């Protein structure tokens, strides 16, 4: 994987909102974002389903607390009541209703006013599966044997329509891999009234 320093520009927001509480990371993979957060002085609770990825992440961020589990399962008790969650390219494996439930679970783990920093596969990400693979559902494909979802602007809006204030949503093409990758970067705040949210304020 090539250098992908997306999280660095959000570190001031993370520091402002964390208020000394741990940062929850869903889908930490080999720990690149975990290491960025730990180097900035944050305690990190990192979750991934892959024990091999967690072994790599432990080397990069030995101070973090790791849990090897499917993050659709109940979150560890230590992860409840945090102020910041990070989910970078980790919410795209699931059926739509499961994805909605997962976003709800993340919201439930955050305190009011907490933030989530999220990146989602774009429907323009043709280098990495957005076309040419067997469809499971709309914008949801079996890519090299693994379900993989891609998001357009409307589906991003629907995903965070309830319980979130969208602080920023932008479409990016990044050099994370050998071929360019298209994705959405979405920064969200848990709404004070979980039944309502607000539309994006910046693009």
143 belongs to a structural domain: yes
1 belongs to a structural domain: no
**Residue range 158-172, pLDDT digits in tens:** 999 999 999 999 999
**Residue range 178-199, pLDDT digits in tens:** 899 999 999 999 998 655 554 4
Taking 70 as the threshold, does the pLDDT of residue 43 lie above it? Answer: yes
22 belongs to a structural domain: yes
Residue 177's pLDDT band, with cuts at 50, 70 and 90, is confident
Taking 50 as the threshold, does the pLDDT of residue 202 lie above it? Answer: no
**Residue range 83-101, pLDDT digits in tens:** 999 999 999 999 999 999 9
Residue 175's pLDDT band, with cuts at 50, 70 and 90, is confident
Q: How far apart (Å, rounded) are the C-alpha atoms in residues 21 and 24? A: 9
Q: Is 28 strand, coil or helix?
A: coil
Q: Residue 202 carries which DSSP code?
A: -
**Residue 159, pLDDT score:** 97
Residue 16 belongs to what H/E stretch? Answer: helix 11-18
Cβ-based burial of 202 (10 A; exposed 0-12, middle 13-18, buried ≥19): exposed
Query: How far is C-alpha 169 from the chain's CA centre?
Result: 13
Domain count, the chain: 1
Taking 50 as the threshold, does the pLDDT of residue 200 lie above it? Answer: no
**Residue range 144-158, pLDDT digits in tens:** 999 999 999 999 999
The answer, as to whether pTM is greater than 0.85, is yes
HEC sequence for 176-201: CCCCCEEEEEEEEEECCCCCCCECCC
Average pLDDT of every residue of the chain = 93
196 belongs to a structural domain: no
Q: In terms of Cα–Cα distance, which of 147, 139, 198, 188 is closest to 168?
A: 188
Q: What is the CATH number of the domain that holds 114?
A: 3.40.50.150
Whole-number percent of the chain with pLDDT over 90: 89
Taking 70 as the threshold, does the pLDDT of residue 55 lie above it? Answer: yes
Q: Where are the alpha helices (DSSP H) in 76-116?
A: 96-109
Q: How far apart (Å, rounded) are the C-alpha atoms in residues 166 and 60? A: 31
66 belongs to a structural domain: yes
201 belongs to a structural domain: no
**Residue 5, pLDDT score:** 87
Q: Is 67 strand, coil or helix?
A: strand
| Spatial CB neighbours of 178, under 8 Å, sequence gap ≥ 6 | 2
Residues of the domain holding 139: 6-190
Q: In terms of Cα–Cα distance, which of 70, 77, 80 is closest to 106?
A: 80
**Residue 2, pLDDT score:** 58
Q: How far apart (Å, rounded) are the C-alpha atoms in residues 53 and 21? A: 24
26 belongs to a structural domain: yes
24 belongs to a structural domain: yes
**Residue 199, pLDDT score:** 44
């Amino acid at each position: 994987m090539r250098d992908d320093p997306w999280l660095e520009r959000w570190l001031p927001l993370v520091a402002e909102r964390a208020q000394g509480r741990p940062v929850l990371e869903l889908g930490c993979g080999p720990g690149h974002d975990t290491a960025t957060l730990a180097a900035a002085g944050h305690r990190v609770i990192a979750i991934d389903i892959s024990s091999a990825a967690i072994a790599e992440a432990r080397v990069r961020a030995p101070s973090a607390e790791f849990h090897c589990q499917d993050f659709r399962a109940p979150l560890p008790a230590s992860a409840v009541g945090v102020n910041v969650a990070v989910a970078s390219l980790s919410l795209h494996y699931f059926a739509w209703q499961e994805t909605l439930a997962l976003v709800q679970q993340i919201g439930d783990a955050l305190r009011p006013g907490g933030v989530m920093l999220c990146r989602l596969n774009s429907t323009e990400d043709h280098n990495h599966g957005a076309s040419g693979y067997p469809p499971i559902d709309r914008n949801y494909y079996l890519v090299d044997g693994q379900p993989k979802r891609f998001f357009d602007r409307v589906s991003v809006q629907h995903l965070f329509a309830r319980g979130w204030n969208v602080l920023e949503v932008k479409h990016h093409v990044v050099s994370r891999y050998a071929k360019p990758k298209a994705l959405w970067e979405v920064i969200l705040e848990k709404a004070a009234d979980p039944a309502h949210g607000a539309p994006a304020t910046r693009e």
